Structure 1
Amino acid sequence: MTEARSVLVEAPGRHRLVTAAAPPEPGPGEVRVAVHAAGVCASDREVYEGTRAEGYVRYPVVPGHEWSGTVAAVGPGTDPALVGRKTTGEGFRACGTCDRCRTGETSLCTAGYEETGFTRPGAFADHLVLPARLLHLLPDDADLTAAALLEPAAVVAAAVLRAAPRAAERVAVVGAGTLGLLAVQLLAAASPAELTAVDPRKRPGEQARAFGAHHAATPEEAAGLHGRFDLVVETAGAPGTARDACLLARRGGRVVLTGLPAPGAHGIDPVHLAVSQLTVAGVFGAPPAAWAHATRAFAAGLLRPAALITHQLPLESFGVAVELVGSGDPEVGKVLLKP
């Protein structure tokens, strides 16, 4: 067997590339995936900097929860026909037996939080081991580089499924980063009468229009659109964007929050919520139904994440990738690590 490398974050601010003598062996019901690409996101930067919320990371850890690859080996009791299949997979290691899991709400598992790349070894490595039940298989001709973005696409799919967009509605997406631009693509497929992306940066606004948005607006311009939209999907996680999303919704409208702001974010006015009779939902992670929706949309060409990728770096450049993600440079889109 060949050597197996992985990026190990030993503690906040300290990482190294480690090499094992052989790839990890999958156990019963597990598979080993040869990682093709893994996305670096703000959550990975939080892991590295030590700012992720207590209980949602366990050091030392190999990060990497957005990934694609090919099944290289299976453990005892696992279907050998999986070997050679292109795939991506869910990150939450839900128990599968609690009340929430039994209803399909695996991201609300009451057994405790466990997730690939945060409390379990992740995909910033040559190989990843995970339960076969978490796989979402891809077509043989799938673009594996683009497929590395299916984890954020699944989060967006969870938001869209919760939002239940209807044709001819007025829809806004607050934030045109990776999540926002994926949301624009899925929402455009629902045939809205108006689809507006709100972001202070010029380049993401242009990309949003290329992906199906009718308009792009800065937050200042969006202030003139308060009360206009039937549905607002918030993806930015900036201090004021949850509040702004609620202001953009019409009375009786729907708001879905997917961004995770840092502590100290502006609160949502409860009087506005009550008087406007808004329906507000939150999304954290993605249940299996959302993963299935995202992978189907990807296979059908409704999701086109490849255009969001701006940087592809080797595992050795993890530190550079983290700096890029946190740089604030509007020319930096999705950053991938490729073993």
Structure 2
Amino acid sequence: MKHRQTVDRATCPTAVRRTGMRAFVLTGPGAYEVRELPAPVAGPGEVVVDVERVGVCGTDAEFFTGAMAYLHQGHSAYPMRPGHEWAGRVAAVGDGVDPAWLGRRVMGDSMLGCGACRRCLRGRQHVCEQRREVGIRGGRPGALAEQLAVPASSLHALPDSVDAVLGALVEPGGNTLRAARAAAPAPGDRVLVLGPGTIGLLVAMFLRASGAEVHLMGTTESSLAFARSLGFEHAWTEDSVPDVPSDAAVDASNAASLPELALELVEPGGRRGSVDPRPLVAATVGLDEVGPVLAGERPAGSGPGPKIHVEP
């Protein structure tokens, strides 16, 4: 679909702004539409990004089913536009934003603090009481659209060596790197990762790069076989985990029983290189195919990886 374009000279002489765009919108539990919406405008301190790639996350699936706690706590409401793992190129900048951002390839933080409270001023905007979360909380539209408006302060520039696939994996990669560092493995330490999904496999990759001996525990043979194909030879089901202590454990699952199991498997006194996560992406789909993906369907021709990406 072609869009009429206008030059937004009030923002920047070289910026080109669309008047409309396509976006994926959740309208209720299990209900969705791909809508034609007004294109976003960069407000003061904001940029508009042409979205290149978006990752579909378990949080998005919880919004699709209606199970997401924010819906019941009043932090989120339908209709909503999900999508918080994204990469793209800056198309327009608002007042007060350095025009050097124009044309830059970027990704952005999901959690946007108020900027004025004690937590934000201490750099802890992710726990700000008034925070908004892109595509998740506070009515901030997400990236499952052709364009996205976000604060310039949330941007991180991507080097040319990081393509759109890797760019959209930076957000989950940052979370998992933090978890891997928290495990604090020394070379040769044995670390058990519970759950071989996207998050668990990313944690495992970072742990392996640090020199740890990584063990993965899962429930399905297909997920464990995929982990082995990535070079993780120690991949087990719960009833086949070797009876050897681990120096650390990372719970990357959503099973309520596993934190207790992790404590049993970690050695008393224990604690909870280069990584290429592109093999985790099983398929890339368009906006029209997002609904079935959130409903749990695998796109035709998908690879064995756990992550689905969207190219708006």
Which range, TM-score by smaller chain?
0.7 to 0.9
> What's the RMSD between the two structures over aligned residues?
2.2
State the 1:18 CA deviation.
1.2
Alignment of 1:50-89 (within 5 A): 50-53=66-69, 54-55=72-73, 56-89=75-108
* 1:238 corresponds to: 255
* 1:36–1:28 CA distance, 2 compared to 1 (3 A): same
**Secondary structure in structure 2 of the residue aligned to 1:26:** coil
Q: How big is each residue's C-alpha offset from its partner over 1:221-256, in whole Å with a ceiling of 9 and x where there is no partner?
A: 12x436x1111111011232222222221111112x
Q: How big is each residue's C-alpha offset from its partner over 1:79-113, in whole Å with a ceiling of 9 and x where there is no partner?
A: 1111111111111011233333333333222x334
* 1:133 corresponds to: 153
Stretch moving more, 54-63 or 121-130 = 54-63
Unmatched segments (≥5 aa) in structure 2: 6-17
Alignment of 1:1-339 (within 5 A): 1=5, 2=18, 3-21=20-38, 23-53=39-69, 54-55=72-73, 56-109=75-128, 111-119=129-137, 120-192=140-212, 194-211=213-230, 213-222=232-241, 224-225=242-243, 228-255=245-272, 302-324=274-296, 331=304, 333-339=306-312
Contact 1:30 1:129 in 2 (8 A): yes
Contact 1:181 1:207 in 2 (8 A): no
Please tell me whether Structure 1 or Structure 2 has the larger radius of gyration of its CA atoms: 2
Stretch moving more, 309-318 or 97-106 = 97-106
**Secondary structure in structure 2 of the residue aligned to 1:324:** coil
State the 1:317 CA deviation.
1.2
Q: Partner letter of residue 66 of structure 2?
A: G
State the 1:159 CA deviation.
1.3
Matches of 2:30 and 2:228, distance apart in 1: 38
State the 1:202 CA deviation.
2.9
State the 1:195 CA deviation.
1.4
Contact 2:64 2:295 in 1 (8 A): no
**Secondary structure in structure 2 of the residue aligned to 1:60:** coil
* 1:249–1:61 CA distance, 2 compared to 1 (3 A): same
Contact 2:47 2:149 in 1 (8 A): yes
Q: Partner letter of residue 12 of structure 1?
A: P
Matches of 1:236 and 1:63, distance apart in 2: 22
* 1:156–1:89 CA distance, 2 compared to 1 (3 A): same
Q: Partner letter of residue 232 of structure 2?
A: A
Unmatched segments (≥5 aa) in structure 1: 256-296
**Secondary structure in structure 2 of the residue aligned to 1:225:** coil
Contact 1:34 1:69 in 2 (8 A): yes
TM-score (normalised: structure 2):
0.85
Stretch moving more, 55-64 or 303-312 = 55-64
**Secondary structure in structure 2 of the residue aligned to 1:140:** coil
State the 1:37 CA deviation.
1.1
* 1:334–1:122 CA distance, 2 compared to 1 (3 A): same
Q: How big is each residue's C-alpha offset from its partner over 1:22-43, in whole Å with a ceiling of 9 and x where there is no partner?
A: x211111111111111111221
* 1:266 corresponds to: none
- Sequence identity, in percent? 35
TM-score (normalised: structure 1):
0.79
